[in-house]
Amino acid sequence: MRPLSKETTVRSRFSRIALAVIASGALLTLSLGAGVASANGGPNHRGADATFTKWVTDFPNMAGVVGGSVGDGSFVGKILDYNPGPTTVIAAIYQFNGSRHSFSALVHVEQTGLHAVIIGVVTDGWGRGNLVNGQYTQITCAHGGLTTDCFRGSLDIGR
């Protein structure tokens, strides 16, 4: 058995921290109720759907477009931890910059084949404190004159 590299140890530690943050957000939301957890004082965001199509630009950075409840706009993301395998496990920050609403979420993604499930918590902006869950499907798309792998999906905010 080979010893773990420093990078593997740091990734493992970060994965545990990211999952702890997501779990803490979930417990906070459940214990306070969704209305209180919406720290921006806005309406309850239960049932809001934010759609996205994203792609990796320069690893670990992502870009894309958003829509749905947030309005048309841009997606920016950063992969924090990437563990490939039969089920690829990813920790990332997703930023939705829509024409109606903007927010950032810390997410945990598990992708098997071309499909992924997403869980996380809104850490800043619209719906702060709300849980998010969603999915995406890996597709091929054209953007900026390039054809690349893209990921099209949605996040449910506060369900």
The mean pLDDT of the chain is: 81
The DSSP call for residue 38 is: -
Is residue 119 situated within a structural domain? yes
Q: How large is the average pLDDT for residues 80-101?
A: 98
Is residue 135 situated within a structural domain? yes
Is residue 35 situated within a structural domain? yes
* First-last CA distance in the chain: 43
Is the model more confident about 149 or about 26?
149
Q: How many domains are there within the chain?
A: 1
Is residue 140 situated within a structural domain? yes
Is the model more confident about 17 or about 132?
132
Classify the C-alpha dihedral 141-146-150-154 as positive or negative.
negative
pLDDT at residue number 157 = 95
| Band of residue 38 on the pLDDT scale cut at 50, 70, 90 | very low
For the cut 60, the answer to whether the pLDDT of residue 80 exceeds it is yes
Is residue 116 situated within a structural domain? yes
| Band of residue 144 on the pLDDT scale cut at 50, 70, 90 | confident
Is residue 1 situated within a structural domain? no
103: tokens are: 């927010």
Is the model more confident about 3 or about 141?
141
Q: Which domain holds residue 51?
A: 6-157
For the cut 80, the answer to whether the pLDDT of residue 45 exceeds it is no
pLDDT at residue number 158 = 86
Contact yes or no for 91/83 (Cβ under 8 A): no
Is residue 47 situated within a structural domain? yes
Is residue 141 situated within a structural domain? yes
For the cut 90, the answer to whether the pLDDT of residue 1 exceeds it is no
Please state the pTM of the whole predicted model. 0.74
